[in-house]
C-alpha cells in the first residue's frame, strides 16, 4: 500500500511540475511576443487555392500546420511569412511569382484584421503585440526572387519585405547555396561575388535584414564579414547536433555571437535529428546547444511550419509553441533567457538593422551586375553597353 501511495505522489508531483512549467511559459508569452522567423502558409495558399482567399477560411481550415485558432493557442505574437517561389522559376518568372506571394500576405492581413496586423518596423511589432494581434512581416525566401536586380530589391522593400534569404536551394549569379557544401552543386561565386557583397550593402542601406538560412558556409562567412548590421538565420539549426548542410556550424555560431545575430531554430526533423523522426526534446537540444556556444542572445524560433512534411512529436503545428517554451524552463532557462529567445533577440537585431539604415540612408550603389553573369534567353540587354 505504501508503494502505491509513493507512486501516486510521484505522479502527482510530476504532473504538477509539468503544469507549473506550462503555466510559466504561457505567462511569459502573454508578456513577451514570440516572433517566429519563418512560416510557409502563403506557399500553401498558392498550392492549394492559387491564392484565392475567398476559397479558404483560416478560422476553420484545418489541413495546414497554421490557422488562426492554432496561432492563438500557440501564443504567436509575430510572424515572418515567407514569400517563396521555387528555384525552377529562376531566369523565368521568379519576380512575378514572388510578387504574387507578397500580395497574398498583404491580402491575408486585410481579410483578417481582427487577427493580423501588417508590420514594417520593430515598433510595429511591439504595437501589434500590445493590441493582441499577430504582427505579420514578409521575408523573401531566396535571392533568385530579385533576378539580380537592385531595383527589384528596393521595390520589394517598399512593398514591406523586411528580410531576404540570400539563396534557396540553388546558386544565384552572385551567391552560393548550401548544396555547394554537399558537393551536389558546384560553387559559382566562392561564397558571395563582388555583386553579392553590394547586395548586402544595399540591404543594410534599405534596412532589410540579411538572412543566411540556405546559404553555403563560405557565403555565411562572407555576409557576416560584409554586413554592417547583425544577420539572422531565419530557420536553421545546429550542425554539431545534426550534420546537415542547412545547419549552422560552430565556427559560424561564434561569429554570429560576435556580430550579435540570431539563429532561429528550425523544427524540420531532417535538420533536427538528421532522420525522419524527432521529438520536442530533440528541438530543445538545439536551443541548448546554440545557447551554450553563442549565448542566449543568439537563439530564436524558426519553426518552418507549412514548409516541411515531417515535424517532431509534440510540435505538430503552431499551437505547440508553449510546450517547447515550457521545456526550456524545465531545463533551467531563466525567464530573462526565455523572453530573449521568444522575441527580444530578433527585435534587437531588427532595431540594429533600422539604425544602420538611418546612418547609411544616402549611400546607394546603382552599379548593375555584369551582363555575362545573367545572360539567358529570357533576359534582354537594355542598358548594357556593347
Where exactly are the structural domains of the chain?
A: 35-359
C-alpha cell read off for 341: 529567445
pLDDT at 74: 98
Read off the DSSP letter of residue 341: I
Q: What is the DSSP code string of 326-352?
A: HHHHHTT--HHHHHIIIIIHHHHHHHH
Whether residue 366 lies in the annotated active site: no
pLDDT value for 85: 98
Find the catalytic residue in 65, 168, 244, 286. Answer: 168
Give the whole-angstrom CA distance, residue 72 versus residue 107.
20
pLDDT score of 362 = 66
User: Can 141 be counted among the known catalytic residues?
Assistant: yes
**Relative orientation angle of helices 150-158 and 194-206, to the nearest 10 degrees:** 20
What whole-number distance in Å separates Cα of residue 333 and Cα of residue 340? 11
Which of 309, 281, 285, 310 is closest to 299 using CA atoms? 285
Let me know if 75 is a catalytic residue: no
Residue 18 exposed, middle or buried by CB count within 10 Å (0-12, 13-18, 19+): middle
Residues 6+ apart with CB under 8 A from 85: 94, 97, 98, 101, 142, 144, 145
Going 290 to 183 to 165 to 38, the CA torsion angle's sign is negative
CA 255 from chain centre, in angstroms, equals 19
Report pLDDT for 12. 45
Secondary structure (3-state) at 248 = strand
**How high is the pLDDT of residue 1?**
58
Assign a CATH topology to domain 35-359.
Answer: TIM Barrel (3.20.20)
Q: Which of 298, 235, 295, 299 is nearest to 270 (CA)?
A: 235
- The SS3 assignment for 51 reads coil
Residue from 89, 82, 271 nearest 172 by CA = 89
C-alpha 137/C-alpha 234 separation (Å) is: 13
Choose the catalytic residue: 32, 38, 144, 286: 38
323 belongs to the catalytic site: no
* Active-site pick, 141, 282, 285, 306: 141
Kindly state the DSSP code that residue 175 receives in the 8-state scheme: B
pLDDT, tens digit only, all 386 positions of the chain: 555 555 554 454 454 556 899 999 999 999 999 999 999 999 999 999 999 999 999 999 999 999 999 999 999 999 999 999 999 999 999 999 999 999 999 999 999 999 999 999 999 999 999 999 999 999 999 999 999 999 999 999 999 999 999 999 999 999 999 999 999 999 999 999 999 999 999 999 999 999 999 999 999 999 999 999 999 999 999 999 999 999 999 999 999 999 999 999 999 999 999 999 999 999 999 999 999 999 999 999 999 999 999 999 999 999 999 999 999 999 999 999 999 999 999 999 999 999 999 887 766 778 899 999 999 999 999 999 76
Cell 538560412 appears where?
Answer: 213
Catalytic residue (one of 65, 205, 214, 286): 214
Concerning whether 168 is annotated as a catalytic residue, the answer is: yes
Amino acid at each position: 500500500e505504501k508503494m502505491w501511495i509513493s507512486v501516486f505522489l510521484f505522479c502527482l508531483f510530476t504532473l504538477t511540475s509539468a503544469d507549473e512549467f506550462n503555466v510559466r511559459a504561457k505567462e511569459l508569452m502573454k508578456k513577451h511576443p514570440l516572433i517566429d522567423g519563418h512560416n510557409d502558409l502563403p506557399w500553401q495558399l498558392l498550392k492549394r487555392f492559387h491564392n484565392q482567399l475567398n476559397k479558404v477560411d483560416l478560422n476553420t481550415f484545418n489541413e495546414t500546420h497554421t490557422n488562426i485558432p492554432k496561432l492563438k493557442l500557440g501564443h504567436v505574437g509575430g510572424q515572418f511569412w515567407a514569400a517563396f517561389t521555387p528555384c525552377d522559376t529562376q531566369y523565368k518568372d521568379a519576380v512575378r511569382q514572388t510578387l504574387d506571394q507578397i500580395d497574398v500576405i498583404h491580402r491575408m492581413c486585410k481579410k483578417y484584421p481582427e487577427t493580423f496586423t501588417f508590420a514594417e518596423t520593430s515598433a510595429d511589432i511591439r504595437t501589434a503585440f500590445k493590441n493582441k494581434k499577430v504582427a505579420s512581416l514578409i521575408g523573401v525566401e531566396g535571392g533568385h526572387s530579385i533576378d539580380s536586380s537592385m531595383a527589384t530589391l528596393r521595390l520589394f522593400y517598399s512593398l514591406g519585405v523586411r528580410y531576404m534569404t540570400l539563396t534557396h536551394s540553388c546558386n544565384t549569379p552572385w551567391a552560393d547555396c548550401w548544396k555547394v557544401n554537399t558537393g551536389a552543386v558546384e560553387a559559382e561565386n566562392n561564397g558571395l561575388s563582388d555583386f553579392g557583397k553590394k547586395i548586402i550593402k544595399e540591404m543594410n542601406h534599405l534596412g532589410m535584414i540579411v538572412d543566411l538560412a540556405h546559404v553555403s558556409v563560405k557565403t555565411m562567412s562572407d555576409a557576416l564579414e560584409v554586413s554592417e548590421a547583425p544577420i539572422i538565420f531565419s530557420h536553421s539549426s545546429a550542425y554539431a547536433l545534426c550534420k546537415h548542410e542547412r545547419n549552422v556550424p560552430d565556427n559560424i555560431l561564434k561569429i554570429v555571437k560576435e556580430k550579435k545575430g540570431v539563429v532561429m531554430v528550425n523544427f524540420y526533423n531532417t535538420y533536427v535529428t538528421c532522420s525522419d523522426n524527432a521529438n520536442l526534446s530533440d528541438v530543445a537540444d538545439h536551443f541548448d546547444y546554440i545557447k551554450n556556444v553563442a549565448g542566449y542572445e543568439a537563439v530564436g524560433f524558426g519553426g518552418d511550419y507549412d514548409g516541411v512534411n515531417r515535424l517532431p512529436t509534440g510540435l505538430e503545428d503552431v499551437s505547440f509553441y508553449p510546450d517547447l517554451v515550457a521545456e526550456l524552463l524545465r531545463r533551467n532557462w531563466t525567464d530573462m533567457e526565455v523572453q530573449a529567445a521568444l522575441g527580444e533577440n530578433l527585435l534587437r537585431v531588427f532595431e540594429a538593422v533600422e539604425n544602420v539604415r538611418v546612418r547609411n540612408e544616402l549611400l546607394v550603389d546603382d552599379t548593375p551586375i555584369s551582363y555575362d553573369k545573367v545572360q539567358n534567353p529570357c533576359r534582354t540587354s537594355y542598358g548594357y553597353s556593347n
